[in-house]
Chain A
Amino acid sequence: MSTYSATLGGRTHSFAGLAGLLAAASPERSGDRLAGLAADSAQARVAARWALAEVPLARFLAEPVIPYETDDVTRLIMDSHDTAAFAPVSGLTVGELREWLLSDAANAATLAALAPGLTPEMVAAVSKLMGNADLVAVARKVQVVTAFRSTIGLPGRLATRLQPNHPTDDPAGVAAALLDGLLLGSGDAVIGINPATDSPRAVRDLLDLLDGVIDRYSIPTQSCVLCHVTTSIDLMERGAPVDLVFQSIAGTQAANASFGVTLGLLDEAYEAARSLARGTVGFNALYFETGQGSALSADAHHGVDQQTVEARAYAVARRYDPLLVNTVVGFIGPEYLYDGRQILRAALEDHFCGKLLGLPMGLDICYTNHADADDDDIATMLTMLGVAGASFVICTPGGDDIMLNYQSASYHDALYLREVLGLRPAPEFEAWLGRIGLLDEGGEIRDVAGSGHPLTAIGRGLAA
């Protein structure tokens, strides 16, 4: 194994292999400490960054952080690497890539062309040399546009996932939360439910409920019930109205195995979802969730730091042209991201890395109650990610998810972000909001409290 080193503070710090170097260069993070991978001092951390800045990008193609023979995600990364796309930056070091990304040479067109030439490890490496503002500035320049019944990722737009979860999947309870979200102008990225059970019958009932509402009100959006991919494949074979096929994914073969998925299974889901062709303005039909810490939690990280492993999950995602990818950034708990500061940093890293690799990145900006974070952290993250050009965010009623027991952004938070940054919903959805009477003269969401609006039939019908 190669050794990397740098001298700082009168001491020479050495790092074993690229994996060791990447881990030591990561900002302080409880998960890397838990895994025994964090730098052992503040100076060692900065020394690792000095050494990392000198590493040629081409080195990442020669030294996989997890062996090619033992991991199918490594094989996917190496086998799908586009040498021609890589050519413009092939002579740069990691430090030089940072400066190139920040320069005017990097714009929407050059970054889109570069994406297939970058590997997750390269983008993870450069992110470790960037400040939070750098991560915003570069991500903002990247444009990734996808479409199904609405178009996601256009400049000046912010979409939202409406998440009407219910602890027992009660249809009336789901419908009530769905109505609340629609009246607040949410749901253009997807109307997505985390079901309480993975039972195919329960998932089917929710799919039918959402499909019925979308169809009855001609809403230009897509539904998703976030069940295991095998459940979706089974339901598609039975003719269920599946718009988007969902799966949680991670950055190693072993971590994906802990989710019960393989690349072969995802290939199968991709074919099945595309063949349904239920989209109207586009055919991106997959939805992936990721998040730092899942590989460590599954004891499947192979000594790679949690942010680099997370970036490797994006290599899995981009194979399937997804409509949406989001990192559920603060979901697992403080053993991986301790407080609001660590969650914010991870959110910016994930968004930056995903976009640079060519993905339609959104976020579930969230925290659990045992992390040291609160609603002000949500506001800070939301604002920075809005500036950074996130494709979409997840929204829950009042920011409180009663099924998953965590806090996320609220529909109100999305209204705030659209207002302060002048962002608008997906164009098809925005036109629908106008048709259904939810936009005022200025194009803002009207404060329609409810009772007089035709959409309230959604709630009344099911709650009767």
Chain B
Amino acid sequence: MTERQAIAPESDAALWNSLRRHTQARIGLGRAGSALPTRHRLELQAAHAAARDAVHSPFDPDVVASALAGAATIRVRSAAPDRLTYLQRPDLGRRLHDVDRAHLPRDGWDVVFVVADGLSSRAVHEHAAAVVRATTQRLPSDWRVAPVVLAEQARVALGDDIAHALGAGMAVVLIGERPGMSAADSLGAYLTYDPRPGRTTDADRNCLSNIRPPLGLSHTDAATKLATLMRRARDLGRTGVSLKDESTPALP
């Protein structure tokens, strides 16, 4: 072995450590033959397990209700009876369970917040209540905010059905995003003006994703952006591709 090779391991570690400051990608993992060293193989499995658990951990509406500290809540389910069905039948996850439709008080609400489990109940448990509270605080005091709807086995478009049943003019769906291996607790927010089941399309929504402090968007920043978008949506009478988030500068 030459002298240079003998000192290589130490300086390799320094090289990869300096490069890792620029990316979360799993670089410089080294090799055992052609395969990964044991430590990295197990780290990948641990990250995958966290993501899988995030998908399959049951949603506990009590966690969100208690974090909302006294705010009125209503619990609903989608038409998907269980997780297995939910994963294979997005159409059912977009539709309210018929029994639960009757629990929604129709009134002249300006907005309804829907907290939906989506693909990560962990994201919802950790972030949703804080975003609802911070956003509500930033809305004009004369806005009529419906009770927060806590929805199980829910897709984004379930918010259309809920808002329609409540007679709400706007829906904000806070939903657990598809978990990656580096982020299993990411919350998304979808804003829809005048939602109509079956007629509203994804192009009619505005989305904030990656709400996930401290690595992603903070609760307060998400709330500020959401409240701004909501006021502008009401002024314009629409959401979607024609309503841009102007709180961040556009790319040149």
Tell me the A residues contacting B by CB distance below 8 Å: 30, 33-34, 164-167, 170, 172-177, 179-180, 197, 199, 201-202, 333-335, 338, 368-370, 374-375, 396-402, 404-407, 410, 412, 415-416, 418-419, 447, 449-452, 456, 459-460, 462-463
Contacts and interface: CB of A to CB of B under 8 A. Distances in A.
Contacts of B63: none
Contact of B23 (A173, A406, A412, A456): A173
Contacts of A167: 24
Contact of A450 (B5, B12, B40, B91): B12
A405 B179 contact: yes
Contacts of A33: 88
8 contacts: A400-B44, A400-B181, A405-B179, A449-B30, A450-B15, A456-B15, A462-B22, A463-B22
A400 to B, nearest CB: 5
B9 interface: yes
A75 B27 CA distance: 47
Contact of A334 (B4, B19, B88, B91): B88
Interface stretch (B45-53, B99-107, B135-143, B167-175): B45-53
Contacts of A179: 19, 27
Contact of A400 (B12, B28, B90, B182): B182
Contact of B182 (A174, A177, A402, A452): A402
A411 to B, nearest CB: 9
Contacts of B87: 333-335, 338, 370
A405 B180 contact: yes
B58 to A, nearest CB: 15
B244 interface: no
A398 B26 contact: yes
A177 B25 contact: yes
A338 B25 CA distance: 27
A201 B28 contact: no
Nearest to B14: A451
B31 interface: yes
B95 to A, nearest CB: 14
Nearest to B51: A369
Given A370-B87, A419-B33, A451-B12, 8 more contacts: A176-B27, A177-B27, A368-B178, A375-B48, A397-B26, A405-B180, A415-B31, A418-B34
Chain A CB within 10 A, most for which of B34, B44, B91, B251: B34
A459 B23 contact: no
A172 B22 contact: yes
A196 to B, nearest CB: 11
A407 B21 CA distance: 22
Nearest to B252: A201
Interface string B155-181: 000000000000000000000001111
B8 A451 contact: yes
Contacts of A401: 180
B241 interface: no
Nearest to A30: B88
A201 B89 contact: no
B18 interface: yes
A393 to B, nearest CB: 14
A66 B21 CA distance: 52
B20 interface: yes
B35 interface: yes
B48 A173 contact: no
Contact of B8 (A400, A418, A452): A452
Given A199-B251, A452-B8, A407 B16 contact: no
A449 B20 CA distance: 15
A355 B142 CA distance: 63
A410 B14 CA distance: 23
B236 interface: no
B149 to A, nearest CB: 23
A375 B22 contact: no
Given A173-B22, A177-B25, A199-B251, A412 B35 contact: yes
Contacts of A174: 23
A300 B252 CA distance: 34
A397 B33 CA distance: 17
A308 to B, nearest CB: 20
A197 B8 CA distance: 38
B22 A369 contact: no
A180 B22 CA distance: 13
B15 A399 contact: no
A103 to B, nearest CB: 36
A180 B25 contact: yes
A334 B80 CA distance: 15
B122 to A, nearest CB: 12
Contacts of B252: 201
Contacts of A180: 25, 27-28
Nearest to A177: B25
